Amino acid sequence: MIKVVGAGLAGCEAAYFLASHGIAVELVEMKPKKFTPAHSSGDFCELVCSNSLKGDDPYGNACGLLKEEMRRLGSVTMAAADLTRVPAGGALAVDREKFSACVTEKVRGMANITVVSREQTELPERGIVATGPLTSDALSRAIAERFGGALHFYDASAPIVSAESIDLSETFTQDRYGRGTGDYLNCPLTKEEYTAFVHGLVSAERADLHEFEKGEIFEGCMPVEVMASRGEDTLRFGTFKPVGLRDGEGNRPYAVLQLRRENAEGTSYGLVGCQTNLKFGEQRRVFSMIPALKNAEFLRYGVMHRNTFLQSPEILNADFSVKSDPMLHFAGQMTGVEGYVESAASGLLAGIHLWRKLNGKEPVIPSSSTVLGALSRYIAAESRDFQPMNANYGILAEGSVKTRDKKERRRLLAERSLEEIERYRQALSL
């Protein structure tokens, strides 16, 4: 029996693939006996920071292309996401609870998977470790002892408010550039309102970080108050940018906060891009400065928590196995892939590679012209300053795709990628 440690996105992908292909799996998950500071549900694949899995267009978005590659290889998380999606314009967003419940049902329903609820405190002899960015202290120590230390950074999540508490008279419904079906609530701000809000963010009291150090915050999940401190216009050219949005009178606002549905019923909305580490009372005070949220009821406040990742280029091969121990694999954000979908993708790949090894075959890495293959090579490539990486066109091998037309270039890259994934699927006899 092969052990998979962790029932998050990566662990569930790995366990499900292995079980689907005749391998008996022991899936070790410490919930519900023990929870991390960021988790509260006993279900698998609990989404902490956001309910968005980012763009879903395979021909216009690198993460959308990654999703399609995964679907074609039988991804369980993409199947669950498609079943539990909520309106989000061009993005794939899900109902958090329904998504987790769906994956849990699929995984627990596999005859070849035995779920064991306990904390794993040491590395298994063989299998896949996918304990995520919030790996328990005991297992983190075991990893550090084995590999001489691990890197870490700190991540933040955004507040969620009840839909009925939003002042809809201060909003307009539209997706950026008209994409989607009007799935976002936009909260416009005048110059005066925006300036006051930024000043409020910068001067607000932050939660006590204890051992947290400012230099360890990852750029991709930067708290909104840290972004605001970099300059008054920083948010207006980032998360609060008004580009591609027009209010009911056809005017472009000075700045805009977007709200995105958190569940299928539309009873709760998340503040897009507003990850924060402000004290809870300060979050209520500062975000209520936005006219549409002046009477907002906060269903969940933003929090900051530790994320841990390995110095993967020194430790891992491109098949996510340990260089000194090819039957031991890691998967998920701890390998240095950044994002929900990327984490799930690494678990799917680790499962595929381990399956082949258990059947006496060599691992086959997807082509570097696919997002799956590019991410695989990224985590193993020599690097002086290794940092987490998400799906993007910059890591794809361009090869013969040469054009200055960005839209056309992405279309060509996607077509080539999906052709390569089909060849890869056939080579694996999936």
pLDDT score recorded for residue 150 = 63
Q: Point out the least confidently predicted range of 73-82, 202-211, 222-231.
A: 202-211
Kindly state whether residues 249 and 322 are assigned to the same domain.
no
Q: What is the band of 220 on the pLDDT scale with cuts at 50, 70, 90? A: low
CA gap 398, 369 in Å, rounded? 7
Reading the block at residue 426, the tokens are 């056939």
Kindly state whether residues 287 and 414 are assigned to the same domain.
no
CA gap 80, 366 in Å, rounded? 24
CA gap 87, 119 in Å, rounded? 36
Q: pLDDT of 352-396, one tens digit each?
A: 999 999 999 999 999 999 999 999 999 999 887 787 888 988 888
* Kind of pairing between the strands at 255-261 and 268-271: antiparallel
Q: How would you label 135-147 residue by residue, b for 16+ Cβ within 10 Å and e otherwise? A: bbeebbebbeebb
Kindly state whether residues 319 and 296 are assigned to the same domain.
no
Q: Decide which of 302, 328, 354 is a domain's last residue.
A: 302
Averaged over 269-297, what is the pLDDT?
95
Q: Please spell the DSSP secondary structure of 38-82, one letter per residue.
A: T---SSSS---S-SEEEE--TTT-HHHHHHHHHHHTT-HHHHHHH
- Which is more confidently placed, 220 or 129? 129
pLDDT score recorded for residue 213 = 38
Q: Decide which of 302, 333, 358 is a domain's last residue.
A: 302
Q: Point out the least confidently predicted range of 84-98, 168-182, 231-245.
A: 168-182
Kindly state whether residues 25 and 72 are assigned to the same domain.
yes
Kindly state whether residues 374 and 331 are assigned to the same domain.
yes
Mean pLDDT of the chain: 90
Averaged over 71-85, what is the pLDDT?
97
Number of domains in the chain: 2
Share of residues in the chain with pLDDT > 90 (%): 67
| Residues pairing with 2 in the sheet | 25
Give yes or no for a contact between 45 and 12, defined as CB atoms under 8 angstroms apart: yes
First to last CA, the chain: 22
Averaged over 108-125, what is the pLDDT?
95
Kindly state whether residues 17 and 130 are assigned to the same domain.
yes
Above 90 in pLDDT, residue 124?
A: yes
Q: Point out the least confidently predicted range of 212-221, 297-306, 383-392.
A: 212-221
Above 70 in pLDDT, residue 217?
A: no
Give yes or no for a contact between 236 and 243, defined as CB atoms under 8 angstroms apart: no
Q: What is the band of 135 on the pLDDT scale with cuts at 50, 70, 90? A: confident
Kindly state whether residues 6 and 137 are assigned to the same domain.
yes
Above 50 in pLDDT, residue 34?
A: yes
Q: Decide which of 302, 325, 345 is a domain's last residue.
A: 302
Above 60 in pLDDT, residue 309?
A: yes
Above 90 in pLDDT, residue 67?
A: yes
Kindly state whether residues 36 and 149 are assigned to the same domain.
yes
pLDDT score recorded for residue 182 = 76
* CATH code, domain carrying 108: 3.50.50.60
* CATH code, domain carrying 205: 2.40.30
Above 90 in pLDDT, residue 195?
A: yes
pLDDT score recorded for residue 187 = 97
- Structural domain of 257: 160-302
pLDDT score recorded for residue 37 = 62
Kindly state whether residues 284 and 184 are assigned to the same domain.
yes
Kindly state whether residues 17 and 143 are assigned to the same domain.
yes
Top mean-pLDDT range of 45-54, 152-161, 233-242, 307-316: 233-242
Kindly state whether residues 36 and 133 are assigned to the same domain.
yes
Kindly state whether residues 279 and 166 are assigned to the same domain.
yes
